Amino acid sequence: MTKAKLGSIGLSLFLFIALIVWMATGDVKVAEKEAPAARETTEETLPAVQVEQRQSRLYQPGLLLQGQIEPWQSVSISARVPGTVESLNVGLGDQVEAGQVMARLSEDGRQTAVTRWQTRLRKLEADLAAARRLRERELTSESEILTLQSELATARAELAEAQLVIDHLTPEAPFDGVVNHKSVDQGDLVQVGSPMFELVQIDRLKAVGQVPQQNVSRVAPGQSVNIETLDGETLNGEVRFVASAANRETRSFAVEISVDNPERKKVAGGSATLRIALPEVQAMFISPAYLSLGDDGRPGVRHVNDDNQVVFTTVRLLSITTDGAWVAGLPPEIRLITRGAGFVALGQQVRPVFPEDERG
């Protein structure tokens, strides 16, 4: 017999003897016929999430638009008759009142025409009166009276036109405003239609913008508006007009806002941010970090209900900044999950923990 065979027999004999000794010691484990009862789930074994108690309150949302501020009224005062500028009564930046004479043009013999037609009018009135007396005695015909009446009407029209020309020699301000531009100097020769002044009203302004078609139903005349200019000036206004038809190119609706400007701030013509106040709603202010998307792609928040289950409620964003977001659609009071929301599933029962519980 070889040494290899003797070694193998010896190893087998050794293992057999060791098995006999182990069984003799009584350390054999006997499997139980029944599995051990599962330990009951306790609150300590539930996954913990940190929550904060949040309550909704009244909030007035706003619709933000980019718009333009314009003078309430703006008019270009032009020459209505030819002539030479004899005098200027106002200068750039002057505040004028309605009816104030702004300049005077040369008469150039126009008063003569007024005098001539005034004389002609008095003569025709006297002739007509005499003809009517003769008609009463049947000493003149009715056609003679009609001729005189026609000539009298023509004379009156000519006199009115001649007087109007005289009035146009002294152009007046049509409303209270500020001279924003002057196109003539004393001695200039102007023709009919030559621009002379630009007059603007700035104690009252109007802001104009475009409302997207999805929001136009929320805007109506009478709503208050906050206007903020690029240099930080703030003004208050009120929606005055909302277009009934959309712009064909932008599919948005024009809106016009009346803005009081008693201090006559120089903001007309500039850009501004318009915040139209919308009706108040119940809303909640939360950090944008607590917003997530549901299966339908709409935003919402996770919170814990009365049964300590994780639920997801879709919300409507009213406004959002880096500081926080105002959202609507949540119950009046919730336990908002602020930590651990990503480690639990919807419908799962959890152990809500308030920050003060962790400190205690």
User: By mean pLDDT, which of 28-32, 88-92, 163-167 is the weakest?
Assistant: 28-32
Predicted local distance difference test score (pLDDT) of residue 4: 46
Q: Would you say residue 231 has pLDDT above 90?
A: no
Q: How far is CA 91 from CA 106, 172, 184, 194, 251, in A?
A: 19, 14, 10, 17, 43
Question: Could you give the angle at the alpha carbon of 175 between the alpha carbons of 266 and 161, nearest 5°?
Answer: 145
Predicted local distance difference test score (pLDDT) of residue 16: 54
Q: Residue 215 has what DSSP assignment? A: T
Q: Are 237 and 254 contacting, i.e. CB atoms less than 8 angstroms apart? A: no
pLDDT digits (tens, 9 = 90+) for 262-316: 999 889 999 999 999 988 899 999 998 888 898 888 999 999 999 999 999 999 9
Predicted local distance difference test score (pLDDT) of residue 42: 56
Q: How far is CA 6 from CA 16, 17, 118, 130, in A?
A: 16, 17, 159, 172
- Token digits for 64? 């933000």
**What confidence category does residue 90 fall into, taking pLDDT thresholds of 50, 70 and 90?**
very high
Q: In one letter, which amino acid is 25?
A: T
Enter the pTM of the model: 0.65
- Per CATH, domain 64-71+203-277 is 2.40.30.170: yes
Q: From the DSSP assignment, how many helices (H) and strands (E) are in the chain?
A: 4, 21
* 3-state DSSP assignment of residue 156: helix
Query: Can you tell me the distance from the alpha carbon of 177 to that of 203, in angstroms, rounded to the nearest whole number?
Result: 8
Q: In one letter, which amino acid is 156?
A: R
Q: Are 134 and 100 contacting, i.e. CB atoms less than 8 angstroms apart? A: no
The CATH architecture of the domain made up of 48-59+281-359 is Beta Barrel (2.40)
**What confidence category does residue 341 fall into, taking pLDDT thresholds of 50, 70 and 90?**
confident
Q: Would you say residue 32 has pLDDT above 70?
A: no
Query: Can you tell me the distance from the alpha carbon of 283 to that of 262, in angstroms, rounded to the nearest whole number?
Result: 35
The distance of Cα 288 from the centroid of its chain, to the nearest Å, equals: 23
**What confidence category does residue 358 fall into, taking pLDDT thresholds of 50, 70 and 90?**
low
Q: In one letter, which amino acid is 203?
A: D
Query: Can you tell me the distance from the alpha carbon of 223 to that of 147, in angstroms, rounded to the nearest whole number?
Result: 62
Pairing of strands 189-190, 281-286: unpaired
